């Protein structure tokens, strides 16, 4: 078969593509070398048929057994040479006669889905699901800058069945610096049931948060504002006009629990689960969370991370049908901030939330 590339020198060793446990929404796999694979060097000259192609597309012809995503990772890692120099950009255009060289080796991303023994704060566990109290600072799943040490890695070590589940059974997420309760599936049946329950808004998720400024107005507020990417800064989310920008509807119910001259203590109930939803809705109300610098907050009362805790979780058990409720008191950093600001109580009375 004419690939359009003339191989000038290569070391051929049998490679093995592994199935990556983390998949995107379409659950497509991304072929990459296994973590124990020693790697190999391949080299080829660009033929006339490939003149003007993107570098990553030309490489995909040279090594068709691997995905373009993996090849882009190698370019970023400095493992690809163009005419003897380290290539810088996947989108760089190649010319006829250019000499391409590539070192096929595991990348941090390809090794991300490894089991790592870690101490998980297990609140409840049975054969169908697992509820954990996630500490602030723990990343939920691998992503750029965090290819190891994530909750997903810990789940792969915690129970064998996690390897056969998409995302190791993770059905919802908490931001890295948000603490509190998460439910994780342990079987495919439980995972499908939990995903459906969340989509149908049958899982009740309640949070406690510390926010800047004294609360004004009614004690309870329903924030029904759509969220999407901030058109001015794409790394943030924002309240958007759906007539002008892409986004999704989002609703958060906010109730005042305590007030001071400089801060307020609030209970938030999610009705949808959009990225950064509570953080953005609180900013929209004029009360950014303490230490949430991405959305206008600043460190205060000793807090160095956004003051948000997933306090209570209620759901119908996917096997028994029984409704279970779990709750966990906020961790010491939030408790100390609450005391310093003379707000409270630390754990709200159920009567306050009726």
Out of 56, 175, 177, 333, which one is annotated catalytic? 175
In sequence order, which residues have a C-beta less than 8 Å from that of residue 201 and are 6 or more positions away? 271, 272
How far, CA to CA in Å, does 317 sit from each of 155, 184, 194, 328? 20, 12, 9, 19
**350 part of the active site:** no
d(CA 78, CA 68): 15
For 82-150, give the DSSP string: ETTEE---TTPBP-TTPEEEEEE---TTTT-S--------EEEE-SSEEEEEEPTT--SS-BTTBSSSS
For 274-333, give the DSSP string: -TTHHHHHHHHTT-PBTT-GGGT---BTTB-S--EEEEEEEEE-TTT--EEEEE-PPPHH
3-state secondary structure 147-201: CCCCHHHHHHHHCHHHHHCHHHHECCCCCCCCEEEEEEECCHHHHHHHHHHHHCC
For 194-261, give the DSSP string: HHHHHHTT-SEEEEEEEEES---S-SEEEEE--EEE-TT-TTSEEE--TTTS--B--EEEEEEEEE-S
d(CA 329, CA 121): 13
The H or E element that residue 16 is part of is none
Can the peptide bond before residue 40 be classed as cis, meaning omega within 30 degrees of 0? no
In sequence order, which residues have a C-beta less than 8 Å from that of residue 27 and are 6 or more positions away? 166
Q: Does residue 22 contact residue 30 with C-beta atoms inside 8 Å?
A: no
In sequence order, which residues have a C-beta less than 8 Å from that of residue 49 and are 6 or more positions away? 2, 4
* Active site amino acids: 175
């Amino acid at each position: 078969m004419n690939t359009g590339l003339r191989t000038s020198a290569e070391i051929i060793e049998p490679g093995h593509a592994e199935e990556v446990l983390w998949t995107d929404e379409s659950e497509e796999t991304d072929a990459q070398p296994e973590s124990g694979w020693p790697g190999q060097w391949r080299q080829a000259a660009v033929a006339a048929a490939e003149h003007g192609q993107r570098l990553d597309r030309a490489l995909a012809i040279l090594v068709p057994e691997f995905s373009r995503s993996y090849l882009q990772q190698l370019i970023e890692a400095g493992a690809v040479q163009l005419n003897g120099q380290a290539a810088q950009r996947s989108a760089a255009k190649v010319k006829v006669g250019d000499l391409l060289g590539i070192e096929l080796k595991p990348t941090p991303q390809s090794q991300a889905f490894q089991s790592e023994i870690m101490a998980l704060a297990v609140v409840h566990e049975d054969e169908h699901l697992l509820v954990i109290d996630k500490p602030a600072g723990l990343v939920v799943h691998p992503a750029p800058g965090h290819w190891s040490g994530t909750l997903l890695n810990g789940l792969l070590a915690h129970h064998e069945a996690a390897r056969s589940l998409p995302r190791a059974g993770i059905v919802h997420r908490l931001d890295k610096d948000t603490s509190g309760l998460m439910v994780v599936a342990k079987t495919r049946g439980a995972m499908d049931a939990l995903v459906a329950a969340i989509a149908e808004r049958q899982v009740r998720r309640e949070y406690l948060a510390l926010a800047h400024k004294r609360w004004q107005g009614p004690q309870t507020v329903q924030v029904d504002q759509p969220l999407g990417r901030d058109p001015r800064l794409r790394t943030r989310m924002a309240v958007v006009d759906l007539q002008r920008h892409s986004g999704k509807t989002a609703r958060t119910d906010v109730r005042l629990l305590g007030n001071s001259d400089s801060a307020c203590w609030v209970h938030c109930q999610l009705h949808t689960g959009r990225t950064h939803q509570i953080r953005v809705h609180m900013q929209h109300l004029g009360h950014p969370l303490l230490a949430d610098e991405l959305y206008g907050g600043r460190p205060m009362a000793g807090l160095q991370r956004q003051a948000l805790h997933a306090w209570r979780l209620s759901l119908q058990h996917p096997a028994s049908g029984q409704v279970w409720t779990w709750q966990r008191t906020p961790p010491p950093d939030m408790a100390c901030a609450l005391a310093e600001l003379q707000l409270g109580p630390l754990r709200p009375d159920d009567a306050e939330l009726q």
